[in-house]
Each structure stands twice: as structure tokens, then as C-alpha cells.
A and B are shown apart, each in its own frame.
Chain A
Amino acid sequence: MIPELGHFALIVALLLALTQAVLPLYGAQRGNFALMAVARPATQGQFAFIALAFACLAWSFLANDFSVENVARNSYSQLPPVYRFTATWGSHEGSLLLWVLILAFWSTAVSVFSRHLPEDMAARVIGVMGLISVGFLAFLLTTSNPFERLLPAAMDGNDMNPLLQDWGMIIHPPMLYMGYVGFAVAFAFAIAALLSGRLDVAWARWSRPWTTVAWAFLTLGIVLGSWWAYRELGWGGWWFWDPTENASFMPWLAGTALIHSLAVTEKRGAFKAWTVLLALIAFSLSLLGTFLVRSGVLSSVHAFATDPARGAFILGFLAVVIGGSLALYAWRAPKMITGGAFGWFSRESLLLANNVILVAALGAVLLGTLYPLFMDAMGLGKISVGPPYFNAVFVPLMAPALFLMGVGPLARWKDASLPGMVTRLKWALVVALATGLLLPLTLDGFNAWASLGFFLAAWITLAVGVAFADRLRPGQGGLLQKLAALPRGFWGMQLAHFGVAVGIAGIAMVANYESERDVRMDVGSYAELAGYTFTFRGTTAHDGPNYRAARGTVEVSRDGRAITVLHPEKRIYNASGMGMTEASVHPNLFRDIYVAMGEPVGDSGAWTVRLFHKPFINWLWLGALFMVVGGFLAAADRRYRIALKRSELPKRVAAQGA
């Protein structure tokens, strides 16, 4: 009964989504307030029914109802309850249900926090989100019903993919989807602006906090995915330029360009048409990301779900959303190109450079990700584009952007003085150059890539310092008072930029100074790596709730001093018979020691073992966390709330003027 209830709830949700889409959009076009007023209750009702459907599916998983096909294929009676719950979104169907749940959540958030918007604007935004929801719910109900029954019921399930049985995977998909779907809000605002013809500063100010929050979630989702891959795949890598990673990275690049371009539109009224276009692109790429990962078109580690039939629906949906929104853009946007003039050296021009570079990088990633698929689809042969391509393109493209990142926040709007900037930053430049040149010499001899990384990290950090020093010039009050008085938008931006610096320092260290060894280890033998001694003490049998494992014991010491004892495992999962390597890591702020088991050699208890020393790898995750917190801080800036109160006054007159 419970699965049927969930199925029924989804159908009701689809009807509500249709109502939420059609009536308010029509009402807004006709100026009919009664129809516009339908938007909010329909949205909240839709959210309630999708939440009910999701709860039904989660219940089916928790109760081991193997008469539901989805449960039988993706869960297992011996699976610990927490993974049975997360298996709810481990499958193709479940993850799409999570997608629409999060979309309904964002829509409801908009319906609650949009009281200050003009009624027709709110109705259009909510209506557009309803349209997206209609598409996804129709997709779920027609091609991917998560509640499909299995007759006769299975005795037991096939188990969840062991790789997904990790708590990094519990929160990675929800966070990633919060980001993907969050861009739907920016998209809906952009479409609403195009429909109404009111593309003004107020629009940018409404759209900005939503976009920043979505960006922060997406950042968090990507980092969790990277961190999961690092620990769980047993290869010690944190980024593979795998198509699935690129699928989430492309909307991130577009989103990063968007939050910077929105800043120009909000503060100076410039770049309007461009900002709208970026909002359309960011969400289109989110849809493309969902399509790439969920239709099984990729040959990649993430290709769990393989069913090209579903691909046709999403491809059609993509064509409608992207084609439709671009057509609307081409029709409406040319009427809206106006904006403040600015000098060749100003914050606007620097942000323009930021956008040009980010979009170029996005194009490069898009080419490398889609070209092999295109060649394959055309029958022109199978090729792959590996990490060397992406690294060769990415580093030279991003280095100038990162250099400008130090200058941009210090430049004045409209017209900045280049000689003045040189005076303010000359010491920062000298110190950063010295850091870049000298630091590698103290580590392992000169290394140009490491130098570049350390230079950029030091440069951005010092520029953040200069920005704070500028704001804290002599005046009333103590230092702490002045710090507390700085706006959250300023704190958020500086923290996020500092996070980038920390992340670059980590990447420069780990990419240039990590060491790795595959060794055969007999019981009692030892191996050396990066000054650490690893002694292998053999393996013991170890039984988990749904797997059996050989658990190794590896003692790690340095100069005769014991550091830690690691227990890497080689597991065989009961239901699937699938083998999996569970690496064991000893982390600290300055390095990770990482041990993974290979295979047994002979009968003497010897194993092949993979040893890693990863200097400063944790700075990568730490830097990314600073970016996430910075994003949330910036979105919480007081001026958005003050702006909300002011914008309650009719804005039409001002808008028509612009």
C-alpha cells in the first residue's frame, strides 16, 4: 500500500505543478491577481506531496520491501539502516525523486521569501519553476517510476553498490542537487525578467542571494564528491577530469561567472544581457549534468544507471528548456542592453576579464567532455580525452584569472587608477614573488609549477590582507568594532577568495611533492616512503554487517617514533560478490598518510600494498570550505534585507526608465 500511496502522491504533485506553472504565468501576463495568487499555495502543496512520495520510498527501503523493484535492485536486508535510507537516492529513479524534492523545496523557499517582490514577478518566477517541475515529474512517472512493483517479490535485494556505502556519499548527492537545482531559481528569475521586460538593478538584487547560496551548495557538493573519490576509490586521486566530475564542474564555472557578473549588474547596472545569459547557461548546464550522469551515456566510474531510452526524454527536455530560453533571450534581450559606462581599468573591466576567462575555461571543459560522445554517436571512432588535456588548458587559463583576483576587489568601480594600484600592491607583489621563488627551494629544489602555485596563493592572501587594511584605516572605534562593522558581503567575498588561496597552496603542494609506491610486502617486512617507515603485520579476517574482509595492519613510524597504526581492508560484499578496497588514512593539517591493499601474493600472507604520502592535501578541502562559508556569509548580507523593504514600493517607474 505504501508504495502505491507514494505513486499516487507523485501524480497529485504533477497536477499541482501544472497548476503552479500555468495559472500564475497566464495571470501575470493578463494582470489577473486572483490567478497569480494561486502560485504560492500550489507550490507549497506540491512540496508536501513530493515529500510524502519521498517518505514512502524511504519507508519502502527501510522496511526492506523487496516487492518494489527499485528496492530489490538497490538495497539488501543486511545493509545497515543508514545506508538503506541513503539507498533511497542511490538509484536512478530515487535520485531523480530527490531532484524534484529539492526543486520543490527551493520553490517553496521562493514562495515564502518573495513577499517583497512585485506580485507579477513572484508569480512568473514560481510559474517557471513549476514548468521545470512538470518536466521532471512527467519524466519520473513515464520512464522512471521509483515505485514499480516486482512480481513475484524478490527474496532479498541485490545490495547497494559498495562504493556508495560511505557517509561522503550520503550527503554528496543532496548537496550537489541543492546547487544544481538552486540555479533553477536564478534561471526562473532570468526568464521572469525576460517575460516582463523588467531587467533592472532590482532584479539583480533579488536574484543575487539565491544564486550565491546555490553556488555555495554546489561548491560543497563538488568538494564532497572529490573527497569521497579520494578516500573511497583507493587511487589516492582527488580529481580525475572524469566526465561526471566535469558535469558538475561546468555549472560551477558558469555559476562562478554568474555571481561575479551579477555583482556588476547590481552595483552598476552594466552587463545586464550577459548576466541573464549566464543564468540561462548555468541552469542549462545543470540539466546537462543531470542528463550526462543519469542517462548512462558516459563510460565512466559513475555510470551506474544505463538506459539510453530515458536519455531521449531528457534530451528532448533539454532541447525545449535550452532552445526555448535562448529563443526568448534572442527576442527580448537586445531591447535591454544599456548600462553604466566604465574605464578600461576598473572593477567592471576586471570582472569582465574574470567572466571571459571562466567562460573560456568552461568551453574547454565542454569540448573535452562532449567531443568523445559526439564522435562516438557519429560513428567516427572511439576516443578519450584525458587529464593531460584538461591540465594543459586549465592551468594557463586560470593563472591570469587568479592573478586578477588579487587586483579586482581593490579596484574602484567605474574608473580605477593603475599607478595607484601599483603603489598599493607593490609590496604584496614583491613578497608573493619571493615566496614563489624561494619556497620550492626549501622543499625539493626549484619547480616552476610549484612556484606559480605558491606565488598565486601568497598574492591572493596578501591582497585580502590589503583589502582589510584599507577598510580598517584610522577612524572611530577599536579594531574589533571596526571588523564587526564590515558588511557580511565583504567578509564573504574575502573569505571565499582566501579559500581559493588556501586551496591553490594545497594543490601546488600535493601535485608537486606527493609520493606513491606500489610494493610487495611480506609479513614483518617494511617499506620507506617520504621519510616514513611502513611495517606490514599481516592480515586478519574481519566480518562487517554485509561483507567479509581481510584487514591489514600497517605500523607507521618516523625516525623510530611510532606515528600510527593503519588498517586498510580488502572487502568482498555478500550479496554482489563484489570486491572493494577500503583505504586507511592518517590525516593531519600538513599531510595524509594513505595505505591501500592490493592483492595477496603467494601463500605466505604477503600482499601488494599501495602507499601514499600526500602533503597539504587537506588544505584543498579546507580552502573549499572557506569558499562555501564565504558564499553563505555573502548571501546573508544585510543590504539584501534592507533592499527588500525598500523594494516594496512600486518600482515600475524606475524600471521603465532603465
Chain B
Amino acid sequence: MKPRHRKLALIALVVALLGVAVGLVLNAFQSNLVFFFSPTQVASGEAPTGRAFRIGGLVEEGSVRREADGLTTRFVVTDTARTIPVVYTGILPDLFKEGKGVVAEGKLGADGLFAATQVLAKHDENYMPPEAAHAVEQAQKAQQTMVAE
């Protein structure tokens, strides 16, 4: 091979490698995005069934109940307008508390119960998970505009 051909072959190889990488990345990206829905959005049927997504809001006061096995917990997530019942099996994070912000990832059942596979609470008492803050803010805005109307 002449040096020029060699150089072209090398460039072609690099481009092919990059092409494979980009395809791989975009494919994985598409199938692994996790979307976020607030309780109001879930209540209005915007959330998918059968696909995992995240919900966020506040843990409703007085809603946390533990089952006898000590590991299964039921609680209600609220954005102050609408609520979603959640069930989770496993140890909850240190900062999971009634009245505090929470984000949960899982699937919505046909009965409207959200089965969480992961519960996230942030590592600072005064810090609200942005998703949870966003959900509450949206709900309060919606309520205010309704009152105004």
C-alpha cells in the first residue's frame, strides 16, 4: 500500500470505529432514559404503565406504614394537589421521613399502586430533591391559577 492509501485506510478505520461507538451509545441512551412525572401528571394518566419512571414529591404526613416483616413499607407521595400510593420492600435511606422530599423509581400497577424499586432521599436535612421541589411547585401554581379563574 502507498502511504496515502494507508492513511486513508486508517482514517476509514477510525471513522468506522467511531460509527460503531455512536450507534452503541445512542441505542443504549434511548432504551435507558428514565422520565419523571409528578403525582398530578400520574393522576391525569400521563405516565406510562409497564415502563419504569420516577415520581417525586413529599411523603404525606401519617401515611407511612410498615408491614410485619419490617421490610415492606407503604407510604403516599403527594405534590399537595394529588397523591400516589407507593409500596417498597427493603431498607429505606436515612433521610426518608414523613413531610420530607422523596424521589422513587419504579412501575405503576394497573391498580394505581406504584411499586418502587428504588427510593432516593437526599443527604442533607434542608435540601429538597429538585424533582420533588419541582412537582410541589407545579401543583401549587396550578392550584393558584384555578383559584384565580
Contact = CB atoms under 8 A, between A and B. Distances in A.
Nearest to B7: A341
Given A578-B95, A579-B94, A161 B124 contact: yes
B130 interface: yes
A318 interface: no
Contacts of B66: 601
A385 B32 contact: yes
B21 A397 contact: yes
B18 A356 contact: yes
B29 A301 contact: no
B25 interface: yes
B36 A384 contact: yes
Given A341-B3, A357-B17, A608-B71, A299 B131 contact: yes
B123 A161 contact: yes
B134 A389 contact: no
Nearest to A521: B70
B41 to A, nearest CB: 10
B93 to A, nearest CB: 8
B80 to A, nearest CB: 18
B14 to A, nearest CB: 6
B9 A344 contact: yes
A353 interface: yes
B111 interface: no
A215 B74 CA distance: 47
B42 interface: no
B119 to A, nearest CB: 12
Contacts of A543: none
B36 A364 contact: no
Interface string B5-42: 01001100110011001101100110111111000000
B32 A388 contact: yes
Given A368-B29, A606-B70, A577 B125 contact: yes
B25 A364 contact: yes
A313 B107 CA distance: 40
* A363, A368, A393, A580: residue with the most chain B Cβ atoms closer than 10 Å: A393
Interface string B118-137: 00001111010111001000
Contacts of A610: 91
B70 A520 contact: yes
A538 interface: no
B54 A384 contact: yes
B139 interface: no
A386 B32 contact: yes
A161 B94 CA distance: 13
B21 A518 contact: no
Nearest to B34: A384
Contacts of B124: 161, 304, 578
Interface in A378-397: 381-386, 388-389, 392-393, 396-397
B28 A393 contact: yes
A38 interface: no
Interface string A217-240: 000000000000000001000000
Contact of A580 (B1, B94, B105, B134): B94
A344 B6 contact: yes
A389 B28 contact: yes
Interface residues of B, number: 42
Interface string A598-611: 11011000101010
B32 A576 contact: no
B87 interface: no
Given A393-B24, A518-B71, A349 B10 contact: yes
A511 interface: no
B103 to A, nearest CB: 8
A321 to B, nearest CB: 27
A353 B129 contact: no
A161 B126 CA distance: 11
Contacts of B129: 299
Contacts of B25: 360, 363-364, 367, 393
B92 interface: yes
B94 A581 contact: yes
A397 B25 CA distance: 9
A352 interface: yes
Contacts of B32: 385-386, 388-389, 392
Interface in A303-353: 303-304, 306, 341, 343-344, 349, 352-353
B94 A389 contact: no
Given A383-B33, A520-B70, A353 B91 contact: no
Given A520-B71, A578-B95, A580-B94, A383 B10 contact: no
Interface string A361-376: 0011001100100001
Contacts of B35: 381-383
Given A520-B70, A520-B71, A163 B29 contact: no
Contacts of B91: 518, 596, 598-599, 608, 610
Interface in B89-122: 89-92, 94-95, 105, 122
B36 A360 contact: no
A344 B10 contact: yes
Contacts of A306: 127
Interface in A562-587: 576-581
A367 B29 contact: yes
Nearest to A598: B91
B149 interface: no
B123 to A, nearest CB: 5
Nearest to A353: B17
Given A299-B130, A608-B70, A599 B6 contact: no
Nearest to A386: B34
A353 B6 CA distance: 15
Contacts of B34: 383-386
Contact of A579 (B14, B95, B130): B95
Contacts of A349: 10
Interface in A473-520: 518-520
B28 A301 contact: no
Contacts of B9: 344
* Nearest 3 pairs of A and B residues by beta carbon: A601-B70, A520-B70, A598-B91
Interface of B: 1, 3, 6, 9-10, 13-14, 17-18, 21-22, 24-25, 28-29, 31-36, 54, 66, 69-71, 89-92, 94-95, 105, 122-125, 127, 129-131, 134
24 contacts: A301-B122, A304-B123, A344-B9, A349-B10, A353-B17, A356-B17, A356-B18, A360-B18, A360-B21, A363-B21, A364-B25, A376-B130, A383-B35, A385-B33, A392-B31, A393-B25, A520-B70, A576-B125, A577-B125, A598-B92, A599-B91, A599-B92, A606-B70, A608-B70
Given A601-B66, A608-B71, 6 more contacts: A299-B122, A343-B6, A349-B10, A385-B34, A579-B95, A599-B91
